[in-house]
């Protein structure tokens, strides 16, 4: 079991247990995290699962963005930053223990 921390736009944080094999989006939806809308269910066509990865030390453990993810990050409700990812494209693994992601304020 891996613990992920979600930071809401008002600065509150919530630790959520995540199972290997789920995506960060699925973990957020199951835990009822506001702001992870995920209209497309992980098909990479909505960009409403956008997060800002705050754990810079873990960035190189994330799978690289695909070309489609790169394109979709141009359509997020809040402008992308260096740590922007679609949370449906981040699979949970033990290597991501302690991952911290921030929810964009425009998605809440
Ligand atoms: Fe739609 Fe991630 S859930 S792009």
86 ligand 1 Cβ < 6 A: yes
Question: Ligand 1 centroid to 69 CA: how many Å?
Answer: 9
Token pair in block for residue 17: 């247990």
Number of domains forming the structure of the chain: 1
Q: Which residues, in sequence order, are bridge partners of residue 50? A: 86
Residue 107 lies in a domain: no
Residue 108 lies in a domain: no
**Share above pLDDT 70 across residues of the chain, in percent, rounded to a whole number:** 100
88 ligand 1 Cβ < 6 A: yes
pTM of the model: 0.96
96 ligand 1 Cβ < 6 A: no
The pLDDT of residue 108 is 84
Closest residue by CA, ligand 1 atom 4: 44
Give residue 31's domain range.
Answer: 2-102
24 ligand 1 Cβ < 6 A: no
SS (H, E, C) the chain: CEEEEEECCCCCEEEEEECCCCEHHHHHHHHCCCCCCCCCCCCCCCCCCEEEECCHHHHHHCCCCCHHHHHHHHHCCCCCCCCEEEHHHCECCHHHCCCEEECCHHHC
Question: Rounded mean pLDDT of 41-61?
Answer: 96
CATH classification of the domain holding 64 = 3.10.20.30
Return the closest-CA partner of residue 89 out of 55, 33, 44: 44
């Amino acid at each position: 079991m891996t613990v992920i921390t979600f930071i809401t736009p008002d600065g509150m944080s919530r630790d959520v247990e995540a199972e290997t094999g789920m995506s960060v989006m699925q973990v957020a939806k199951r835990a009822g995290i506001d702001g992870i809308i995920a209209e497309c269910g992980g098909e990479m066509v909505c960009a409403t699962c956008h997060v800002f990865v705050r754990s810079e030390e873990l960035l190189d453990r994330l799978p690289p963005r695909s070309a489609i993810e790169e394109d979709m990050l141009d359509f997020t409700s809040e402008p992308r930053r260096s740590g922007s990812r679609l949370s449906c494209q981040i699979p949970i693994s033990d290597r991501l223990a302690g991952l911290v992601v921030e929810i964009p304020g425009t998605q809440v």
